[in-house]
Amino acid sequence: PPMIRAASLAVWHVDVARAAPSLAEAERRCPRLSHDEEARAASMADPREAEAWRTARIALRVLLESVVGADVRRRPFAAGPAGKPLLATGRGTLDFSLSHSGRHALIAIGEPGPVGVDVERLRAVSIGGERREVLIAAAEAMVVSADAREPTGADASFLQAWVRLEAFAKA
């Protein structure tokens, strides 16, 4: 009979500012980023944004390596049909998702996929009332359980809806 493997999903929160020194040292000792990732970080105009992006990618690479093994080091990601990064492994395609905003990053790894995550810092959002309500309603329709604490404030409600939709689109 064919082997049946249970689905696995893991999600990590990374405090990018706090993890930056140790992840930079880990990358210095044992490079994991691809040449494309290094070039993208080097091309960013804002050095703080470049460091946050690079730190989040190093964290992703460390976690992918912990699942798949060292052969993923420096391997470029392939692009899926919608442009989502993919990592082909000896076991097939490992699905992952990364999002970062400010000092926070979320990383999800799932077998089989699809997976998607999104994180946004709470901020004022300039979007029209009707469009805002449509997006919130679409995101609320995706919620299976209403057990989650509801955010207070129009911007918090909108951003919660936004991250739900964005994570779904990434998956």
Predicted confidence at residue 145, as pLDDT, reads 62
pTM of the predicted structure, to 2 decimals: 0.79
Alpha-carbon separation of residue 21 from 78, 125, 160 (angstroms): 28, 32, 30
Please write the tens of the pLDDT for every residue from 46-92: 999 999 999 999 999 999 999 888 988 999 988 887 888 888 766 66
69: left (phi over 0), alpha (psi -120 to 50) or beta: left
DSSP state of 72: G
The per-residue b/e assignment along 79-110, b for 16 or more CB within 10 angstroms, e otherwise, is eeeeebeebebeeeebbbbbbbbeebbbbbbb
Q: N- to C-terminal Cα distance for the chain?
A: 30
Please write the tens of the pLDDT for every residue from 87-142: 876 666 678 999 999 899 999 998 877 888 989 888 888 888 888 888 888 888 87
